[in-house]
């Protein structure tokens, strides 16, 4: 069924870090773990995955929640509610090592073992945005990309400032940035309250020039026609015009992955 629904993709369960999830794979070349955004592996995430494959990457996309292929509809709220109370995601906790990141690190190592290049990239989005940086605790991860990272859910100033991973994890990432040249890429819309600017400032303060930030103007009167609720930078909000900042942002993600994974 997976092959019929998602042409060219294979699907098999993968176990790591005490968790088992189905993982969809496709492509050749350096590896990229593509973590879904809410409400799961929706059509926009598949489109991004196919775009990465077309640009020469092997993509491994774990199905952490929701129904693969389902659109963003009424059931999305149910998926979100379940994920928010699941222990593996710890949606509201600050200074927290999220258990699911152990699974993602194991998946990154597995992908690295089967693909060319010195390491792999990890892309997290929305609910899973911070997971990409947490995965970079593992030496196999050389190119973490955080698109609109939304955990912990920013209901308080402390949560808005929280980087989305534990102090222990962030310290390791900061050390890798200083000693090994690790770099990370972060993307957000300027008015996106789900991915607070304060969170990006925390990461910039800790990682300095190793944290590249792309912030797209979605404020009143912006020249791109974006409204203040714009959220999904590299999936649903992409405008297929080479002069549009969302298009350029997605192309920068591809370029960043090539730079870091070329070997």
pLDDT of residue 1: 39
| pTM confidence score | 0.96
Cα–Cα distances (Å) from 238 to 34, 46, 124, 234, 251, in that order, read 17, 14, 16, 6, 11
Cα–Cα dist 48/54, whole Å: 10
**What are 112-161's pLDDT values in tens digits?**
999 999 999 999 999 999 999 999 999 999 999 999 999 999 999 999 99
Cα–Cα dist 173/86, whole Å: 25
Degrees, nearest 5: CA angle 71-3-25:
85
Quick one: what percent of the chain has pLDDT higher than 90? Answer: 93
Fill in the DSSP letter of residue 156.
S
Closest CA to 25 of 68, 67, 77: 68
For residue 84, pLDDT over 70 is answered with yes
**What are 158-201's pLDDT values in tens digits?**
999 999 999 999 999 999 999 999 999 999 999 999 999 999 99
Between β-strands 19-26 and 58-62, what pairing exists: parallel, antiparallel or unpaired?
antiparallel
Q: Given pLDDT bands bounded at 50, 70 and 90, which one contains residue 75?
A: confident
Neighbours of 51 (CB within 10 A): 18
pLDDT of residue 23: 98
pLDDT of residue 126: 96
Q: Span 45-73, mean pLDDT? A: 94
Cα–Cα dist 85/187, whole Å: 26
**Cβ atoms 206, 170 nearer than 8 A:** yes
Cα–Cα dist 4/196, whole Å: 39
Quick one: what percent of the chain has pLDDT higher than 70? Answer: 98
Place of tokens 């957000």: 188
CB-count burial class (<10 Å; 0-12, 13-18, 19+) for 27: buried
pLDDT of residue 263: 63
For residue 4, pLDDT over 90 is answered with no
* Chain CA centroid to CA 239, Å: 19
Domains present along the chain, CATH in parentheses: 10-261 (3.40.50.1820)
């Amino acid at each position: 069924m997976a092959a019929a629904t998602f042409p060219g993709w294979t699907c098999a369960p993968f176990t790591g870090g005490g968790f088992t999830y189905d993982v969809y794979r496709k492509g050749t070349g350096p590896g990229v773990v593509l973590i879904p955004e809410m409400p799961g592996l929706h059509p926009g995430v598949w489109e991004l995955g196919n775009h990465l494959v077309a640009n020469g990457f092997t993509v491994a996309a774990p199905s952490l929640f929701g129904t693969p292929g389902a659109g963003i509809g009424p059931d999305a709220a149910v998926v979100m509610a379940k994920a928010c109370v699941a222990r593996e995601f710890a949606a509201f906790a600050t200074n927290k090592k999220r258990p699911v990141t152990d699974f993602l690190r194991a998946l990154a190592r597995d992908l690295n073992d089967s693909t060319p290049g010195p390491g792999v990239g990890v892309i997290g989005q929305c609910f899973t945005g911070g997971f990409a940086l947490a995965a970079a605790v593992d030496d196999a991860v050389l190119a973490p990309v955080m698109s609109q990272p939304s955990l912990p859910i920013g209901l308080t100033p402390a949560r808005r400032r929280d980087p989305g991973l534990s102090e222990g994890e962030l310290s390791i990432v900061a050390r890798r940035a200083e000693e090994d040249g690790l770099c990370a890429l972060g993307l957000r819309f300027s008015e996106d309250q789900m991915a607070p600017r304060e969170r990006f400032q925390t990461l910039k303060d800790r990682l300095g020039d190793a944290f590249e930030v792309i912030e797209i103007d979605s404020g009143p009167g912006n020249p791109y026609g974006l409204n203040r609720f714009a959220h999904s930078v590299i999936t649903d909000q992409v405008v297929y015009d080479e002069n549009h900042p969302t298009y350029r942002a997605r192309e920068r993600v591809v370029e960043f992955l090539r730079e870091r994974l070329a070997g």
